[in-house]
């Protein structure tokens, strides 16, 4: 499934606990009656409490006792390979809230200022963190009161379930190590962490009872989605006077009512009517669920100052937004009518919206700080450097040295940095039906190989996050758009393997999907040879200059992006698949090879909606296989 929107509230959303000073980009919080909940009912006027009441952001416990969670949800996603660190107090009274541990992996913080609360006593209290074999892990200790009581253990599985491979002394010093082989992580279970790095959104109800609270997301484009659209989020509703939560999807910036609903039933009609249908856990592990347009009243039986326990785990909710598919501008509204006292701090965390594409990436979301930078990769991606990835047997990637962020696979917008090579900009429209036209706008980004000073014959690899194909059926198809303008253009290949650092056939996810040499092995690519796709070619590499214009040339079909299709059906059944993009750069600087708007689809689960079809009609639907429609009464299916 492709993620259309994801938000965990961890990135500076609110300056402190109980603040809405900084909203996620594009979001808006209702205030003063400027948003409609339903016909004749506006939001409640916060009257000077915009940053301290209603929907705000927090970490750790909310300010009010006997309501709210104990901390932000952690982990919020499946982490991959995980180990864990267990905090111990030899005296048995916690770490006094002033001794802390932080963990970094390859220099990146993954756990920040975690501690052992008093009510967890001697511990161990376990915290998971992700690391791959050989990663550099550093554990640092910040001492406070009674540091000689503080100790920790390191374990090679989630929540201390594996082998403990290190036990620190009391009053630990900084400890660095190379990560062993960690176990695969379980999916998120609703566990939480008392840490300022894990934030959430909640309704602060102190002095704010029986109020109408709305907050909405940025606009979401569902125009290219034809199948199912699902939203998931995690909620915490501990408090004796808990209110309710509802979700609406409308096309209006300030109206959550049915008058502007983005699909039938997706707008609110009353305090407890209208809005999207929510299926939610009624216990800590989801073995029992309930369905309705609101989640109402207390759900968890513990929270706030209680120690981590299944009774106070966050719980999962799923919302069907398929009725909004096809809309180009959709806003998601979170509505809470607060309860009758301060004991009703309702919280949400880790929400995302996905469609039935397996993966989609257009590189537009902060992937690279500026043209020619790989400072920020898409979540879960990894760029090869220093020979840490295998292209094929006997051949590793080329060492970028100090040019990790400026050479090889990087991200850009507009034209690339080098004259006479590269596109004029990112694709204007990255959805089905695009003709490959481009724009120089900074909000339309792409991924490319910066070849200046990085030639000849350099080996460049970058890979995606792990993709789960265990539950899909063939055919599985990957599409992407490419731009290869430049007199000394190199080549492009695609591999699919089960390894985090190996694109070779030794780890291929299916027959033929791993590289065996510069020009052999890897997935078969069918690609356009002209601007409209009227002629195509097939091979395991796209080689040499394809477009005849680019860079500073004006928009013209000769420099449009072109489409490529890759069959990944051989990988079906694998639970962990990584897609590798390989480019061997050419003989000079005019080899800036670029890709944009790639996605992976499982056409076997495509949903075809037909109207105006009658018994005896003969229908033909392009791009859909014979297995996609099992039966249509009275209709002759003609593939």
Express as a percent the part of the chain with pLDDT over 90.
61
Q: Which residue has the higher pLDDT, 573 or 432?
A: 573
Per-domain residue ranges of the chain: 2-71+196-355, 78-187, 385-603, 611-639
- For residues 602 and 228, give the distance between their C-alpha atoms in angstroms, rounded to a whole number: 12
Q: What mean pLDDT is predicted for residues 21-33?
A: 86
Query: Can you give the pLDDT at residue 338?
Result: 94
SS (H, E, C) 218-245: CCECCCCCCCCEEEEEEEECCCCCCCEE
Q: What mean pLDDT is predicted for residues 111-138?
A: 89
Q: Report whether 452 contacts 445 (CB < 8 A).
A: no
User: pLDDT tens digits for 280-295?
Assistant: 999 998 999 999 999 9
Identify which of 412, 507, 405, 522 has the alpha carbon closest to the alpha carbon of residue 466. 507
DSSP string of 383-424, one letter each residue: E--TT-SEEETTEEPPP-TT-TTTSEEEEESSS-SSTT-S-S
Q: Residue 8 — very low, low, confident or very high, per pLDDT cuts 50/70/90?
A: confident
User: pLDDT tens digits for 584-620?
Assistant: 999 999 999 999 999 888 755 444 444 444 444 444 4
Q: Within 10 A of 65 (CB to CB), how many other CB atoms are there? A: 12
List Cα–Cα distances, 101 to 104, 197, 339, 363, 515, in angstroms: 10, 13, 38, 34, 42
Q: Within 10 A of 177 (CB to CB), how many other CB atoms are there? A: 14
Query: Can you give the pLDDT at residue 491?
Result: 97
User: pLDDT tens digits for 438-483?
Assistant: 999 888 999 999 999 999 999 999 999 999 898 788 889 999 999 9
- Residue 475, preceding peptide bond in cis (omega within 30° of 0): yes
Common-topology check for domains 2-71+196-355 and 78-187? no
Q: Which residue has the higher pLDDT, 473 or 211?
A: 211
Q: What mean pLDDT is predicted for residues 224-228?
A: 74
Answer whether 0.75 is exceeded by the pTM. no
Query: Can you give the pLDDT at residue 479?
Result: 93
Q: Which residue has the higher pLDDT, 136 or 633?
A: 136
CATH of 385-603, one of 3.30.60.50, 3.10.20.600, 3.40.640.10, 2.60.120.200: 2.60.120.200
In angstroms, how far apart are the furthest CA atoms of the chain? 83
Query: Can you give the pLDDT at residue 79?
Result: 67
Query: Can you give the pLDDT at residue 262?
Result: 96
Phi, psi at 163, each rounded to 5°: -100, 130
Fold of 2-71+196-355: Jelly Rolls (2.60.120)
Question: Going by C-beta distance under 8 Å and a sequence separation of 6 or more, which residues neighbour residue 395?
Answer: 459, 517, 518
User: Which class is domain 78-187?
Assistant: mainly beta
Q: What mean pLDDT is predicted for residues 550-555?
A: 90
- For residues 613 and 621, give the distance between their C-alpha atoms in angstroms, rounded to a whole number: 13
Q: What mean pLDDT is predicted for residues 232-248?
A: 96
Q: What is the rounded radius of gyration, in angstroms, for the C-alpha atoms of the chain?
A: 26
Q: Report whether 80 contacts 131 (CB < 8 A).
A: no
Query: Can you give the pLDDT at residue 368?
Result: 66
- For residues 506 and 393, give the distance between their C-alpha atoms in angstroms, rounded to a whole number: 8
Token code pair at residue 233: 């989020």
| Helix (H), strand (E) at residue 355 | strand 347-355
For residue 24, give the 3-state DSSP assignment.
coil
Query: Can you give the pLDDT at residue 386?
Result: 86
| Helix (H), strand (E) at residue 319 | strand 315-320
């Amino acid at each position: 499934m492709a993620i259309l929107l994801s938000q965990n509230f961890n990135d500076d959303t609110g300056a402190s606990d109980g603040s809405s000073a900084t909203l996620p980009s594009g979001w808006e919080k209702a205030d003063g009656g400027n948003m409609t909940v339903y016909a004749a009912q506006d939001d409640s006027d916060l009257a000077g409490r915009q940053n301290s009441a209603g929907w705000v952001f927090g970490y750790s416990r909310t300010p009010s006792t006997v309501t709210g969670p104990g901390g932000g949800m952690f982990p919020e996603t499946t982490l991959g390979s995980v180990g864990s660190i267990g905090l111990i107090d030899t005296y048995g009274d916690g770490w006094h809230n002033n001794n802390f541990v932080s963990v970094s992996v390859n220099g990146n913080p993954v756990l920040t200022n975690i501690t052992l609360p008093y009510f967890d006593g001697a511990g161990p209290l376990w915290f998971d963190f992700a690391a791959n074999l050989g990663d550099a892990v550093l554990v640092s200790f910040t001492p406070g009161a009674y540091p000689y009581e503080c100790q920790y253990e390191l374990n090679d599985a989630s929540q201390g379930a594996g082998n403990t491979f290190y036990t620190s002394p009391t009053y630990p010093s900084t400890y660095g190590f190379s990560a062993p082989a960690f176990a695969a992580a379980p999916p998120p279970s609703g566990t939480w962490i008392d840490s300022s790095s894990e934030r959430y959104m909640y309704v602060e109800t102190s002095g704010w009872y029986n109020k109408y609270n709305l907050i909405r997301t940025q606009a979401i484009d569902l125009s290219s989605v034809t199948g199912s659209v699902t939203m998931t989020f995690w909620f915490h509703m501990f408090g004796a006077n808990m209110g309710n939560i509802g979700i609406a999807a409308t096309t209006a910036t300030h109206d959550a009512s049915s008058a502007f609903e983005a699909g039938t039933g997706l707008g609110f009609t009353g305090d407890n009517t209208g809005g999207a249908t929510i299926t939610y856990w009624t216990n800590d592990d989801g073995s029992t669920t309930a369905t309705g347009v609101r989640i109402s009243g207390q759900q968890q039986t513990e929270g706030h100052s209680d120690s981590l326990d299944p009774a106070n785990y966050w719980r999962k909710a799923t919302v069907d937004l398929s009725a909004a598919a096809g809309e180009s501008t959709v806003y998601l509204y979170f509505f809470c009518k607060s309860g009758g006292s301060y004991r009703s701090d309702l919280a949400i965390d880790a929400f995302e919206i996905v469609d039935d594409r397996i993966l989609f990436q257009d590189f537009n979301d902060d992937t690279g700080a500026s043209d020619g930078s790989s400072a920020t990769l898409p979540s879960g991606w990894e760029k090869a450097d220093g020979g840490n990835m295998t292209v094929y047997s006997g051949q590793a990637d080329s060492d970028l040295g100090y040019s990790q962020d400026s050479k090889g696979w990087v991200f850009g917008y507009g034209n690339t940095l080098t004259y006479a090579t590269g596109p004029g900009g990112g694709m204007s429209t990255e959805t089905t039906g695009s003709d490959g036209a481009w724009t120089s706008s900074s909000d339309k980004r792409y991924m490319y190989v910066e070849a200046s000073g990085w030639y000849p014959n350099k080996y460049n690899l970058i890979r995606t996050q792990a993709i789960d194909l265990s539950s899909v059926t063939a055919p599985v198809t990957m599409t992407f758009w490419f731009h290869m303008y430049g007199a000394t253009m190199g080549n492009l290949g695609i591999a699919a393997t089960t390894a985090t650092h190996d694109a070779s056939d030794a780890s291929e996810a299916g027959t033929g999907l791993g590289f065996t040499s510069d020009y052999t092995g890897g997935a078969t690519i069918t690609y356009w040879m002209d601007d409209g796709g009227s002629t195509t070619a097939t091979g395991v590499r796209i080689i040499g200059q394809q477009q005849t214009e680019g860079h500073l040339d004006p928009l013209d079909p000769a420099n449009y992006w072109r489409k490529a299709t890759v069959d990944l059906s051989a990988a079906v059944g694998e639970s962990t698949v990584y897609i590798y993009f390989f480019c061997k750069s050419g003989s000079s600087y005019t080899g800036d090879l670029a890709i944009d708007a790639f996605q992976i689809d499982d056409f076997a689960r495509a949903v075809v909606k037909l109207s105006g079809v009658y018994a005896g009609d003969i229908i033909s639907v392009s791009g859909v296989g014979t297995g996609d429609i099992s039966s249509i009464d009275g209709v002759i299916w003609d593939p």
